[in-house]
Every structure is written in C-alpha cells, then in structure tokens.
C-alpha cells in the first residue's frame, strides 16, 4: 500500500468527533459535501468571520474522489487567474496544517514540465511569459540539470524543461481533514453520516435542507457534491453539465535509484507522452489521461459508492505506458504494485463551475473541480469572498457557473467533459476550435453561411462564423501558434468592409430587455453612463460597488419605459444574475438574447444597401449616428441601430429569429452589385483593434476599473450610480496600471493574448488581446501596463514565443483617428 492509500483508507473509516452530533435547526450556510472543495469552503467562510456555517457529509469526509487522488500539485493553468488561485492554494497548506494539527503530507519537491517537440516547447515559452508578469517562479532548466534533478529520466527525448519551485505532492485525505479541522478552529462545524436528501426553497427565500438526521433551515446552500454534484443539483431542479470520468494511475514497486537518491525526487509532466509522475515511498506514481476517456455512470452516481475503486483497464493506457517506459526507463524495469482507477468529476471546459447559480436565490455551487488539490483553496477563497463581499477579489470568469446556459444540457456536458478529459495534456492552439458538442445551438443562417465557406466556432453554445473560406471544401483551420491560414481570407473580408459593404451575423450579442415605469431610474443607477432619450443609443460601463467593470453595454431607448441593452453574449447569464439580484418591483426584465437575431452591415456602401431594402429615409441627416429605429428592413420588422464595431459606417439590424433568413436573402440580393461580402468574428476583432476598442473578457473584465480601462470617458458624473464612490477614488488617487494599444515590430506572427510586456527586461504588464490589423498593415496588441509606461510614444517589449519585439504605445486610434468614417 502506498503512503497515500494507507492514510486515506485509515481516514475514510473514522472521524468519531463529528459522528452523531445533533444538527442545528438553522444555519447561515449549509455546504453539501465533505470532499476537499466543501471543506475548503467551510474553512474560508469560517475564517472570514461568518458564523453558523455547517457542512453536511453523507458518509465520512473524503468519501468521494478526494481520498484516491494522486495528490500532485502545481500552479500551471491555461487561465492566469486560475494559476494565481492555484499558487494561493499551495501557499495555504502550511497554514491549515498548523491550525488543525493535521499533517497534509506536503512535499515541496519542485517540478518540471517537459517539451519533447517544438509545439510543446512553444507552449512552455508562452507559459514562461505568463509567469513573468504573474510573479510566479518558473525557469528553464537544461537537459543536464534535468538529469541531475531526476536521474530516472532520459533527457535525450526533450527540447526543453520548465522548472517550477511551487510544485510537489501531498496526502489528499490528510489535506481534506486539515481544511475541515482548521475550519473548526474558526467555529465552522461539519456533520458526517448526514446525507442530504432534499433541498427546497421556502417562501421566505431560505432553503430547507432535509437530511436523514433532520432538517436544517439555511440562508444559503452550497452544492459541493463532487461525484454526486449532479444528484445534489437535481434536488433543487438544477441539471449541471458535469461528468465523472474514470482515471488511472499506477504505483510501482521499490526502485533502487529512487530509494538511494538521497532526497525526494521532483514531480513532472511530459505533455506529449501524456503522463504525470512523482515519487511515492521508494517507488513511483505514474498517471495518464486516457486517449479515449471513459465517462463513468452517465445516468447518475450511485449513493452507495464512495469507498471503492474501479477495475483498471490497462489496455486503454498501453500506448501511454510504452512512451513512459521509453522516457523514464526505470519504470519499465519496476514491477507495478497497484493500478488505481478512480472516478473524478470534470466540467465541459475542464475548469470548475462555481458561484451563485443564475435564476436561483442563494444557491451556490462549486462543482466540476477536477484538480481539487491544486485548486480547492482558491475555490474556497473565491466562493467565500463572493458570498460575504458580493464579489470575488479577482475576475473568476473562467470558473463562473454562469458561463454556461440552458443549452449546456447533461448530454452535452458528458460529450464536452469527455473531450476535455482526453485533451487535458493535448495541445489546443489559439486558433483551434474544438470539434465535440458542436451545432448545439444554431440560427437560421447556419447552413447558408457554411455553404458560403464559413469556418464556424461556438460562443455560449451558439455557432457563429469566424471567417469565410472560398467554399465548404476550403473551410478548415491549420492549428498553429503563428499566423494561420485564415490570414488572407480575413484580409479580403476587411477590404470588403473598408471599401464596399460587409455583413456579419450578430445573433451572438446578448440582448437584455427592461420595461416599466421604474426602468429608466433603475438603469440610471446600475449603469455608470448616460441613459439615452427615446430613439437614441449610448455606450456605458456597468460597475460593481467596488468600482470594478462588470459590463460594457449599448443602451437603446425604445420608448420612455422600454429599453434594450446589448452586450457580451458570453456574459448574458452572468448579467441576468446581476440584473435580477435587486430588481425593483416596477421594472420588468428578461434576457431576450435568443429572441433577437440579426445582421450588422458595415462599410461605406452600407447606407446605400440599407436604403435599397427599406422604405424609411436612412440618409445621414434623417438617421444619425447613434439613432435607432423600429422599422422594416428587407420586408421584416426590425430594430435598426446606427452604430458599428468595425469603425466604418454601419447598422446593426435585429429581427426575430423567424425573419432572419428573409433578412439575409434581402441583403445578399440587394448587395451583390455593391460588393457585399460576409465577414466573421476574426475580421471584426482585427478592425476594432485599429480603433483601440476593448472587448469584454479581454480588456474589459472585473479585474479592472473604469479609470484603468479608459471606460471612465463614458461615465455621467452628474448622477449617482453603483460604484461611483470607488471610481471617484480611483480617479482622484490615480491608478497603477492603464490599458494601452500598441503596434508591434514583428512579421509572420502576432500576439494571441497573455504575453508579458516588458520594460528593460522587467515585466510591466501583459497583453489582453491582439492580432494583425489589416487596414493599417500592422501587428497590434492591447494590454494593461504600469501607468508610468502607458504614455503615447513609449516603446516597450512584447515577448512572443520567447522572442522580444518592440511595441509602440499609441495615443490615438491608428485608423480613422477622429471617427469620421463611423459617423459619416
């Protein structure tokens, strides 16, 4: 038996201190599930001062996936803020060990990430660049150093190795108990052998949490059901798209080189071989993500499961083992002592799903946490901040449960979670779109655009065009870190928009409708900018009480008591949650994103095209920039907004979904001789760069405030609004960083996001987005840099795949600086 398993089995059997304790009748928070995630949330809520926080566990603590984890920990993640939280998690282990008196079995050995081909070397260069500005300790080590640190590895297979001091391993069971016992130190309580059987919302908004040992009335419920997250969700009518997956690791017999090494060996990940490994006693532990994932118990996790493992299926990992034996030859010679196959729960994109569930009051979840020992601490911190302060201290969009909507069904969740499991150590390039779970949600234009050569992606479940190839047979990507094959096609789309007229489908923009006598006053409070008069449009930031950005929205006033807000499609459920939280009784609100599809026309000939298909006078004088009309275009009823995100003259035409095909036909027929061309999201993102316009999730996100992002230009300071005091303070006291737009002296490659920005070799910021700007023929990036480096004319360096390139901070948009085209 390994250290891990020996201790786990011991711990899973007994914790008499919490067994049979009488349940309280009321609690502020009832956490369901005593795995590492639930225990971390119990710890954080209690530490931050909330009283009457209880955790209910159906069996002993760690009775789900937590007891049989491999216990490897590291900071690397595709999302920088998740990396930050992983770093926080690892830093927390000493604290909970001391508070609880419970060993977490921590071995901070350091660890390495191995690249055995150019692609993985490039990937690690990008990770190294991210780590620079995040202040994480990662450095390159040579093959000789690698062999010195881990003599079992044959270094000839590797291009490069990235070393991280913060990697290591721990005892999963001990760690879970340490969180729970440390929580007790602050007054948190846990109750084992207390299965929750029902959760019911009471008329007063509290939750009735029924257990086999009595009922607790709780203000808040947190679903931390791990392997049973789906079943716990069903109790509240929630269908979470998560899926337990089978997962293997092997434990070897004693290996002499390991036993005699003198210190504990560091842990490692070899991406191409798809293996992770570490020392376990005098032998090794070797894990892999099977090439064909096995979803476990698709129909539901049995309630009597928990202390068992699954029969191993070594055939499914035979190819991986062969590679592992080549690269770490001592493993081939060692006997296999144990083959562990245990299930753990994955989410559709591999990241946790946490936070308040949209549409439900005081129901929180922290599920799909697939690396609980790397992420559990950060998840606990985030959820506790969210519950206590109303918002987390950093942007956790990558983990927010609201990034999925009702299109993320259980079936879809199983397909995507399996895909993500299989791709855990498989490269995803920046221009790559994942193939599974596609065509989940489409508009009436799907077949038409595909027939025109559209290369599609999905956003918030909905298919949308990225770019247009010459036809369906030409519509494919070649995944790369460098400029990809869409380059010339996107250039063609941009040219059509710049010189003639282009059309882009805009069903994927979010639309939020507000009605009622109190609508204007409500919007005036929650939006920081101007709320327009009837028939007009404005752009406005929406801020949190702490002054963080929570939206950049276009507000349309249809009539004095009827408004439509247009914004980020991805954020639509998060925004719905925000709007519904304290909605006044005299305001009606609905997320109507699926009720309005549409097409945006852009380019100098867009007016002529529009005039051909509407009886309205749309001349410059009659239909001014930022006007809106409820009218008829192409013979169908529409809302037509005179704005454009392309920087050219343009119109956003929204119609009900049943009219979209007719609208598209009318546009194509009327636009043929004007040079009409469909364009996609890539062209749009390129054009907005030249205007220096940020985009939600990239430049605009809750990590930044209105002053840092420049969104303060749209604030109406004469009124009161949510976040005003904080924003005034930012304005008066000054901010430490600012959003800049830069041109970069580089050819053949562009930034893709998250690259470090440096000044004299020191990281002073990071790239939020970028790419090639076709109208001005330049590579460009946007990013946040320390305020002293944000002045126009400054030259900085941007690191792209390990090389430094000069970047020039711009003072004004590089294209149509005064906006004459757009307003024309």
Ligand X SMILES: Cc1cc2nc3c(=O)[nH]c(=O)nc-3n(C[C@H](O)[C@H](O)[C@H](O)COP(=O)(O)OP(=O)(O)OC[C@H]3O[C@@H](n4cnc5c(N)ncnc54)[C@H](O)[C@@H]3O)c2cc1C
List residues near ligand X by CB under 6 A. Answer: 32-38, 56-59, 63-66, 68-72, 195-196, 224-228, 232, 247, 249, 306, 340, 342-344, 369-374
Least gap, CB of 270 to ligand X (angstroms)? 15
Task: Please tell me the distance from the alpha carbon of residue 462 to that of residue 273, in angstroms, as a whole number.
Answer: 34
Closest CA to 152 of 337, 325, 339, 338: 325
Least gap, CB of 125 to ligand X (angstroms)? 25
| Whether 750 contacts 801, CB under 8 Å | no
Measured over the CA atoms of residue 621, residue 625, residue 626 and residue 631, the dihedral's sign is positive
Half-sphere exposure of 809 (CA within 13 A, CB side): 23
Q: Which residues contact 720 (CB under 8 A, 6 or more apart)?
A: 525
Least gap, CB of 661 to ligand X (angstroms)? 45
Least gap, CB of 250 to ligand X (angstroms)? 11
| Residue 375 vs 769, nearer CB to ligand X | 375
Closest CA to 125 of 79, 160, 80: 160
Least gap, CB of 667 to ligand X (angstroms)? 49
| Whether 554 contacts 643, CB under 8 Å | yes
| Residue 68 vs 441, nearer CB to ligand X | 68
| Residue 139 vs 197, nearer CB to ligand X | 197
Least gap, CB of 703 to ligand X (angstroms)? 25
Least gap, CB of 420 to ligand X (angstroms)? 14
Closest CA to 535 of 629, 653, 642: 629
| Residue 21 vs 515, nearer CB to ligand X | 21
Measure the CA angle with vertex 700, ends 758 and 818; round to 5°: 85
Task: Please tell me the distance from the alpha carbon of residue 205 to that of residue 198, in angstroms, as a whole number.
Answer: 16
| Residue 55 vs 456, nearer CB to ligand X | 55
| Residue 369 vs 664, nearer CB to ligand X | 369
| Residue 296 vs 645, nearer CB to ligand X | 296
Task: Please tell me the distance from the alpha carbon of residue 593 to that of residue 576, in angstroms, as a whole number.
Answer: 11
Q: Which residues contact 128 (CB under 8 A, 6 or more apart)?
A: 138, 139, 140, 162, 802
Closest CA to 170 of 279, 293, 319: 279
284 backbone dihedrals φ, ψ, rounded to 5°: -130, 155
| Residue 50 vs 228, nearer CB to ligand X | 228
Least gap, CB of 310 to ligand X (angstroms)? 9
Q: Which residues contact 754 (CB under 8 A, 6 or more apart)?
A: 80, 126, 129, 130, 766, 767
| Whether 71 contacts 169, CB under 8 Å | yes
| Residue 371 vs 401, nearer CB to ligand X | 371
Least gap, CB of 632 to ligand X (angstroms)? 53
| Residue 121 vs 416, nearer CB to ligand X | 416
Residue with tokens 């599920």: 367
Least gap, CB of 61 to ligand X (angstroms)? 6
Least gap, CB of 342 to ligand X (angstroms)? 3
| Whether 508 contacts 684, CB under 8 Å | no
DSSP conformation letters of 750-819: ---S--EEEETTEEEEEEEEEEEETTTTEEEEEEEEEGGG-STT-EEEEEETTEEEEEEE-SS-SSSTT-
Task: Please tell me the distance from the alpha carbon of residue 680 to that of residue 682, in angstroms, as a whole number.
Answer: 6
| Residue 63 vs 102, nearer CB to ligand X | 63
């Amino acid at each position: 038996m390994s250290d891990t398993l020996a201790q786990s089995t011991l711990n899973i059997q007994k914790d008499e201190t919490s067994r049979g304790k009488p349940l309280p009748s009321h609690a502020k928070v009832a956490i369901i599930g005593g795995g590492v995630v639930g225990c971390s949330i119990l710890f954080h809520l209690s530490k931050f001062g909330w009283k009457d926080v209880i955790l209910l566990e159906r069996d002993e603590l760690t009775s789900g996936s937590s007891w049989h984890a491999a216990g490897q920990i590291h900071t690397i993640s595709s999302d920088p803020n998740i990396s930050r939280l992983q770093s926080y998690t690892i830093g927390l282990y000493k604290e909970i060990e001391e508070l609880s008196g419970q060993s977490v079995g921590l071995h901070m050995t350091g660890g390495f990430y191995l690249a055995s081909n150019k692609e993985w070397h490039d990937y690690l260069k990008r990770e190294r660049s991210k780590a620079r500005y995040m202040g994480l300790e990662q450095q390159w080590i040579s093959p000789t150093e690698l062999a010195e640190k881990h003599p079992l590895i044959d270094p000839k297979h590797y291009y490069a190795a990235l070393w991280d001091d913060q990697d290591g391993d721990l005892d999963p069971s001990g760690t879970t108990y340490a969180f729970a016992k440390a929580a007790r130190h602050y007054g948190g309580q846990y109750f084992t052998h207390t299965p929750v059987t029902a959760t019911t919302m009471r008329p007063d908004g509290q939750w009735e949490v029924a257990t086999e040992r009595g009922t607790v009335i709780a203000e808040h419920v947190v679903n931390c059901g791990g392997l049973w997250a789906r079943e716990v969700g069903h109790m509240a009518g929630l269908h979470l798209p998560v899926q337990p997956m089978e997962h293997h690791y092997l434990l070897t017999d004693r290996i002499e080189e390991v036993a005699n090494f003198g210190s504990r060996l560091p842990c490692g990940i070899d991406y191409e071989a798809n293996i992770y490994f570490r020392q376990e006693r005098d032998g090794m532990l070797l894990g892999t993500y099977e090439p064909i994932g096995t979803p476990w118990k698709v129909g539901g996790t049995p309630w009597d499961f928990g202390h068992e493992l699954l029969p191993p299926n070594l055939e499914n990992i035979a190819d991986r083992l062969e590679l592992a034996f080549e690269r770490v030859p001592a493993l081939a010679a060692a006997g296999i002592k144990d083959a562990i196959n245990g299930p753990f729960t994955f989410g559709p994109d591999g990241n946790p799903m946490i936070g308040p569930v949209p549409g439900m009051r005081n129901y929180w979840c922290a599920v799909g946490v697939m690396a609980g020992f790397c992420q559990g601490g950060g998840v606990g911190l985030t959820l506790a901040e969210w519950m206590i302060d109303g918002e987390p201290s950093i942007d956790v969009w990558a983990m927010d449960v609201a990034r999925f909507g009702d299109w993320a069904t259980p079936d879809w969740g199983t397909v995507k979670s399996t895909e993500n499991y299989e791709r855990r150590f498989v490269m995803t390039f920046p221009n790559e779109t994942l193939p599974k779970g596609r065509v989940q949600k489409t508009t009436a234009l799907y077949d038409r655009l595909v027939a025109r050569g559209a290369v599609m992606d999905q956003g918030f479940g909905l298919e949308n065009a990225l770019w247009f190839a010459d036809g369906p047979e030409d519509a494919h990507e070649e995944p790369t870190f460098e400029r990809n094959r869409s380059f010339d096609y996107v250039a063609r789309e941009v040219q059509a928009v710049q010189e003639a007229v282009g059309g882009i489908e805009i069903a994927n923009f979010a639309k939020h409708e507000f009605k009622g006598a109190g609508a204007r006053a409500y919007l005036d409070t929650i939006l920081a900018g101007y709320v327009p008069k009837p028939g007009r449009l404005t752009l406005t930031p929406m801020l949190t009480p702490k002054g963080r950005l929570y939206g950049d929205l276009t507000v349309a006033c249809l009539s004095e008591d009827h408004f439509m807000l247009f914004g980020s499609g991805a954020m639509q459920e998060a925004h719905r949650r925000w709007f519904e939280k304290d909605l006044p009784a005299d305001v009606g609100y609905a997320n109507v994103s699926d009720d309005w599809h549409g097409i945006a026309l852009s380019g100098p000939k867009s007016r002529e095209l529009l005039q051909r298909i509407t009886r309205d006078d749309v001349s410059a004088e009659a239909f001014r920039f930022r006007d809106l009309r409820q009218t008829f275009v192409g013979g169908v009823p529409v809302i037509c907004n005179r704005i454009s995100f392309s920087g050219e003259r343009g119109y956003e035409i929204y119609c009900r979904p049943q009219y979209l095909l007719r609208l598209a036909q009318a546009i194509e027929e009327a636009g043929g001789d004007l040079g009409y061309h469909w364009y996609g999201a890539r062209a749009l993102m390129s054009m907005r760069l030249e205007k220096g316009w940020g985009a939600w999730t990239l430049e605009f996100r809750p990590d930044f405030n209105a002053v840092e992002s420049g969104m303060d230009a749209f604030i109406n300071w004469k009124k009161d609004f949510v976040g005003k005091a904080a924003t005034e303070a930012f304005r008066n006291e000054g901010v430490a960083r600012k959003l800049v737009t830069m041109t970069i002296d580089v050819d053949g490659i562009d930034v893709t996001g998250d690259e470090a920005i440096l000044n004299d070799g020191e990281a002073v910021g990071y790239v939020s987005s970028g790419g090639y700007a076709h109208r001005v023929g330049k590579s460009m990036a946007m990013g946040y840099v320390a305020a002293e480096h944000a002045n126009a004319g400054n030259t900085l360096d941007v690191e792209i795949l390990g090389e430094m390139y000069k970047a020039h901070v711009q003072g004004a948009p590089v294209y149509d600086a005064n906006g004459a085209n757009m307003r024309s």
